[in-house]
Amino acid sequence: MTSGLERARAEYLAHLAVERGVSDHTLAAYTRDLERYCEFLFARGRASLDEVREGDVVAYLEAIRTGDDGGSVLAPSSAARAVTAVRGWHRFAHAEGTTAQDPSAAVRPPSSSRRLPKAIPVDRVEALLEAASLGEGPVPLRDRALLEVLYGTGARISEAVGLAVDDLDLDGDVAAVRLFGKGRRERVVPVGSYAVEALEAYLVRGRPELAKAGRGNAGVFLNTRGNPLSRQSAWAVLQTAAGRAGLTEHISPHTLRHSFATHLLSGGADVRVVQELLGHASVTTTQIYTQVTAQTMREVYAAAHPRALG
């Protein structure tokens, strides 16, 4: 993390503790919120607060609502607190003359209303997967296998990076992976041939090389030190692949999960089957994806039918 962001954060936290006299509980919460915000800004290439723009703040609020940055999804009350922490920091920096503007001034806490998930077309998913495997050595093999698993199973990012080798069954009549969702709820999800091929290539030619640097870790996806890949690192893998593929829309692990569900329903899959594949406790949660496909259908109709528009 950059020293500029760290220094500015330390100054604000000191201001809260000494001049504002906030409680230890509030200070600890703000410390966590702003540490995550700094990591998010650093991942977006921001080296100082003066480089932050309103779009960065908005993107961060989306990240804490969805977990797109690899962190946990915050409840509305916690998200509102995080917004307060971020806005307070920017307001303080602007008042102190550290920054020329306050990029958070117009930003409000994220709404608790449910938004339609965003999916990307199949051809863009394919471009993303191809971009992940560019290069030589074990890392491109790992990155391709990781993204194939995310899109091929609809796994959450935490479920994918938490996979152990024993959770893979690639030799049976129907290849499958065992995923552990929220509350350690277990489900077995089939894996398509493309994901199987990518996993086998990685397990044979990539993972053994990465494992040499570690101490016999059982995780499927390893970093260059032989340790399990973190959610943040997996998020960075996706961002790198999206950049290489020239994708301009916002791409996150949730994007692949949303695309998995939307493409299945568009292809005629039953909503309750998709519910089981996603690990949703209630079919009501899954039904939001049917709104996506219905919306797409209306858009296609409006654009293609000669008498759709007056």
DSSP string, 34-55: HHHHHHHHHHTT--SGGG--HH
pLDDT at 307 over 60: no
pLDDT tens digits along 97-150: 889 999 998 887 655 545 556 788 999 999 999 999 999 999 999 999 999 999
- Catalytic residue, chosen from 46, 254, 258, 263, is 254
Q: Give the model's pLDDT for residue 145.
A: 97
Q: What is the DSSP letter of 190?
A: E
Percent of the chain with pLDDT over 70: 86
Quick one: pLDDT band at residue 310, thresholds 50, 70, 90?
very low
What is the largest distance, in Å, between two alpha-carbon atoms of the chain? 68
Greater confidence (119 vs 244) lies with 244
CB 156 within 8 A of CB 187: no
**Whole-angstrom Cα distance, residue 96 to residue 90?**
10
Q: List Cβ neighbours of 187 (8 Å cut-off, separation of 6 or more).
A: 178, 179, 181, 276, 277, 279
Q: Which of 7, 182, 185, 272 is catalytic?
A: 182
Of the candidate ranges 54-58, 116-120, 155-159, 161-165, the one whose mean pLDDT is the lowest: 116-120
Q: Which of 156, 231, 258, 263 is an active site residue? A: 156
Q: Which domains does the chain have, with CATH numbers?
A: 3-95 (1.10.150), 122-300 (1.10.443.10)
Is 146:221 a contact under the CB 8 Å cutoff?
yes
Q: Where are the alpha helices (DSSP H) in the chain?
A: 3-14, 24-43, 54-66, 76-95, 122-132, 138-153, 157-161, 193-201, 207-211, 231-244, 253-266, 271-278, 283-286, 288-304
- Name the token pair of 88: 């307070």
pLDDT, position 24 = 84
Mean pLDDT lowest for which of 6-10, 16-20, 113-117, 218-222?
A: 113-117
Instruction: Render pLDDT for 58-74 as a digit per residue (tens, 0 to 9).
Output: 889 888 888 878 788 88
pLDDT above 70 (res 294): no
Catalytic residue among 9, 257, 258, 263: 257
The verdict on whether 32 is a catalytic residue reads no
Check residue 109 and give its pLDDT. Answer: 65
Q: Which amino acid would we find at residue 113?
A: S
* Residue 240 burial (C-beta neighbours within 10 Å; 0-12, 13-18, 19+): middle
Exposed / middle / buried, residue 298 (Cβ in 10 Å: 0-12, 13-18, 19+) = exposed
C-alpha dihedral sign at 3, 13, 49, 74: positive
Contact 79, 64 (CB under 8 A): yes
Instruction: Answer yes or no: 118 catalytic.
Output: no
Distance CA 242, CA 237 (A): 9
Residue 2: the pLDDT is: 46
Residue 1 — pLDDT band, cuts 50, 70, 90? very low
257 is catalytic: yes
pLDDT at 17: 87
pLDDT tens column, 176-226? 999 988 777 889 999 999 999 999 999 999 999 999 988 888 999 999 999
127 neighbors 245 (Cβ within 8 angstroms): yes
Question: What pTM, to 2 d.p., does this model score?
Answer: 0.60
Q: Is 212 marked active-site?
A: no
Residue 151: per-residue pLDDT: 93
